[in-house]
Structure formats: C-alpha cells, structure tokens
Structure 1
Amino acid sequence: MTIRRAFADLSVGQVHYAECGDASAPAVLLLHQSPRSWAEYREVLPLLGARHRAVAMDTAGFGDSADGGVPASIAQWARVAGELLDALGIAQANVVGHHTGGVIAVELAAAFPGRVRSLVLSSTPYTGEAFRIARAERPPIDEVAPSEDGSHLAALWQRRQGFYPEGRPDLLEAFVRDALKVGHRVEEGHRAVASYRMEERIGRVTQPALILRATADPFAAPHAEELLHHLPQARIVDIEGGMIPLPDQMPEAFAQAVLGFLSALPS
C-alpha cells in the first residue's frame, strides 16, 4: 500500500505528515516518541491503512515539521495536532501515541474531547509529581556534547543501545537519523514530558482507551497500572518482548493490537 507524504500550512509553519488508506475511512492519527518522526510508523501505516485513514505526523519541531519559534510544550504540540486534523478535514480521529506521543494524545483528548474518538497509549508514562521529581534528578536522556572527531555520534548510539533489540542496528540508525535532524533540540521532547502536569488533565479524558505495555521497556512498562488507575475505562494489552522502539520493532503486533481495539469500539 502506498504511503503518501505531504505538508500542511499550520500556525507554526509547514507540518509534515504521511498517510495511508482511503480518505473516507475512519481516521487514525499516529503520534511519535521523542526525538523520532513519522518514520517510527513506516511499517505500521500500511497495516492500519488497510481499514482506516492512517495519518502519522511529525510533531512540531521534529522530523520535517517547523516549530514556529514557539516554546516546546505538550499543550502546544496537541494544538498543532488539532490544526492538522482541521487541515485534513478530519472531524474526529482515533489517536495513537507512543511514549511522548502518548502524552500528547492525553492532552489532545483532554483539550479537544470532541476531536478524539478513542485513545491508544503505547508505552506512555504517567507524568505526575513523582515522575517530575525523579526526572529532575536524572541526566539528559539523548543530549550529547558535540565533538570534532564525531565520537558524539557513537555516544548517541550507545545511550540507546541497551534499550533496543540485539541484531537490529537498523532501528538505532533510524533513531540517530531523527535525532541528528532535531540537532540542539534533541532533549526538548523529554523536557516537555517532564514538565507536563498529567494529573491535572487526565481526569478530563473519558474516551475509550487502550494501554499498550511493551514488557521489555523499563521506562514505560511500570506506568501502565498507574495510567489504568486514572483511566478506569481503559484496558491493558501486553506486547511481550516489546522495547522502546516498539512500533518499528514489532509493527505487526502493534498494528494488530490497535486494529483489535478499534474494531471493538461501538459504531
């Protein structure tokens, strides 16, 4: 199935997106982790596009999307996602978010409830007070000091290597490509997540929800039960062996879980 790529002129400038499927089918909006891009869903898009209009956007300031010179925040990124839905003529979408994308999805559902039919929160942290305190005490996740000999590129690779599956250097290459494109803003997504007060917003989320737990993701997997506590309408589905790059590590399992959830929604 063909992936179509284009830009939409939004308040921040040009925002890039990719899509698959019939434009008249129910829409699914896919939001990526930091500092990735739509390419995280390259293999997932055709699988979802067989039944839905699947749209994967580059979050403002990531991939090929402009940031508009506006300070990075979860609220800002959710507003831009809503603008993209407007530009594409999508009145309501099922929203799928992975890591940072899941946090943006929560805000999108809270701020614009009429635009979100359902939520899939994949490896999404619960960013309450305890999360913010713990994150403040940790070093940067992906930020590395530039070096003249290029050793910072190896350092960037090695920061993530232990959390990626063995024998899949292609996944680390995809991460490094996206991280280099973001440049000095590589840590912005993590900072935005760390400052987001989810405890003040998640109570507004009433849409049907699925929580995907990648069992080998040490950062996100422990948050699934806490998310479930705040989203009693949700359920948890485990993807065994899933790690931080879940959508492009295990696209078939990821898409199958999403499609199963969507097919069970009331019409």
Structure 2
Amino acid sequence: MSQALRMRRGYIDGPYGQIHYLDGLVGRPLLLLHQSIMTANQFDYVFAPLMAHGIRPIAIDYPGFGMSDPTPFVPAIRDYAETVPLVFDALGLERAAIGGHHTGALVANEAAVRFPDRVGAVILGGPFIVSEDQRQALIDDILVREKAFTALPGAAHMVQVAAARERYSLGTISPARIGDYVVQAMAALSHGAYWYGHNAGFSYRQEETLMQITQPTLILTNTGDMLYESALTAHRMRPDFAFTALNGGGIDIVDQQPQQWADAIAAFLADVPA
C-alpha cells in the first residue's frame, strides 16, 4: 500500500461519529467513494496516477466501514451520501467532483442529486441498473451470505473472504493485495455492519435517480465487470453522459488497471470546468 503513504489521514465529525478520510492535499479535488465491503483503501493504487494528472484524490470510509464510526441503524445509500457535504465543509471545498465504484457509484449518484450545488462532476464506476430478478439473485447470493457471516475459530472466516476475492480476481490480484481486501472487510465485521453496504446498494433504485443527474457525468466501466451490461443500459438511458469501457478486468478494475482507470477520469475532468 505504498501509494497510500502519500495521503494525509484525518477525521471529521459526522452525524453518527467520526468519518475517516485520506487526502492527497494538492490538485483539483476528487472525492472517491468505495464499493462494499471495502474502504477508502480500495483506491490505494490509483492515488498516485491521479495525483500525476494534477488531481487531488480524497477518499472516505463510509460510516461502519474502515475506521469510521457506524450508524446506530441500518443505513441506506442516502445516509452514506449525506457524508459528502460534511467532508467538503471540513476540507474547505465549496464544490468538487465525486466518483464511486459499484456501491460508490450509487452514493455518488445520490449525492449529485441531493447536493447539486456542491457536486461539479460525477464519475459512475459500475452503475446498478438491473431487473428485479437480477436484483433478487444478488440478494440471495451475496446479502443472505453476508448476513450469516460470523467470526470462526482459526480465523476460518478470513480464509472464506480471501477465497471469494481470489475467485473474483481470477488470479490477477497478488496474494498481498487479497490480504488487504480481507483486512478491509474485517473492519466492517468488527463494527457489526458487515452486510449494511450491499443491503443499501441492492435496495437502491438507480434507474430513478440516474435521470435526475444534471452535472457532467462519466460512466466508467470495463468489459469484464459483472455490471458491464448494467453500464451499457445506463448509457442507453443517458446518452448525454460520457462513456468509457476499459477492456477486460473484473470488479477489481481499480487495482487491475489503475493507470488506465486514472487516465479515463483525468481525460473526462479535463473537459469539465473545475
């Protein structure tokens, strides 16, 4: 995680406790919003490429993830989105671009609609426009399993997470980085909020709020992502949005192709007034 060492760590006061963030300090601000069940450290490998483009990456842990305090209730996407203006206020930002991956794309969408005066541009990495049958299949496969997830003797639960992430990565992610994924996931388990993120995401109807975005927006996807078809659907719904599809990869495209991912964002923001 050497790329993350250049980032300043800090906390701000949120409505349910403290919110942990990482800040690149210099450049055009871009707030990054992570997928479930990860943390701000999902973006470790894109911090440096973004900074090389003159972009100031800022990444937060949602309440209940990483080093942020949990909510006292089961949160929805709107509750995660409400942290965005709080982060901007704490860092002295009147307006900035925001971008998210998977769950983070939903949070970015919601924040753009709720706080249009604060959000100047939007990057949607993996929109979630699916049929009700697809939604239910994901709930049955992922959410039901996460609700039953618990600590096991010999840290067997950690091995389960590692095995699942290795299966998703198809051998493209190093064992060390898989270990990072496990650490990030276990932070949510320690808060007792392990299933909250996917629950919020699977409950979100993005087909409604996608049409309400007024800011310049980039749909950023990759052909190997499980949500690639969803991204194509989102682009058909909003042909006015910029669209970039990286070749291959999977749900870990931020680690699999960090330079290409950062380049796509930089190219998009170059055409959007700061």
Q: Normalising by the residue count of structure 2, what TM-score does the alignment of the two structures yield?
A: 0.88
Counterpart in the other structure of 1:186: 194
Shift of 1:32: 0.6
Counterpart in the other structure of 2:16: 12
From the superposition, tell whether residues 58 and 201 of structure 1 become closer, same or farther in structure 2 (CA, over 3 Å).
Answer: same
Name the aligned partner's letter for residue 54 of structure 1. P
Counterpart in the other structure of 2:69: 66
1:91 equivalenced with 2:98 (yes/no): no
Counterpart in the other structure of 2:141: 138
Shift of 1:221: 1.1
CA contact (8 A) 1:27 1:53 kept: yes
From the superposition, tell whether residues 12 and 145 of structure 1 become closer, same or farther in structure 2 (CA, over 3 Å).
Answer: closer
Matched-pair identity in %: 31
From the superposition, tell whether residues 157 and 142 of structure 1 become closer, same or farther in structure 2 (CA, over 3 Å).
Answer: farther
Shift of 1:124: 2.8
Name whichever of 186-195 and 40-49 sits farther off. Answer: 40-49
Number of residue-to-residue matches in the alignment: 264
1:159 equivalenced with 2:164 (yes/no): yes
Runs of 5+ unmatched residues, structure 2 = none
- SS of the counterpart of 1:62? coil
Residue pairs, 1:1-267, within 5 angstroms: 2-22=6-26, 25-50=27-52, 51-126=54-129, 129=132, 131-140=134-143, 143=146, 144-166=149-171, 168-183=174-189, 184-217=192-225, 219-266=226-273
Q: Normalising by the residue count of structure 1, what TM-score does the alignment of the two structures yield?
A: 0.91
Shift of 1:41: 1.0
Structure 1: how far apart are the matches of 2:57 and 2:9?
12
Name whichever of 97-106 and 109-118 sits farther off. Answer: 109-118
Task: Give the structure with the larger helix fraction.
Answer: 2
- SS of the counterpart of 1:192? helix
Structure 2: how far apart are the matches of 1:63 and 1:175?
11
Structure 2: how far apart are the matches of 1:207 and 1:238?
20
- SS of the counterpart of 1:39? helix
CA contact (8 A) 1:44 1:252 kept: yes
Runs of 5+ unmatched residues, structure 1 = none
- SS of the counterpart of 1:53? strand
Shift of 1:139: 4.6
Shift of 1:233: 1.8
Structure 2: how far apart are the matches of 1:205 and 1:141?
31
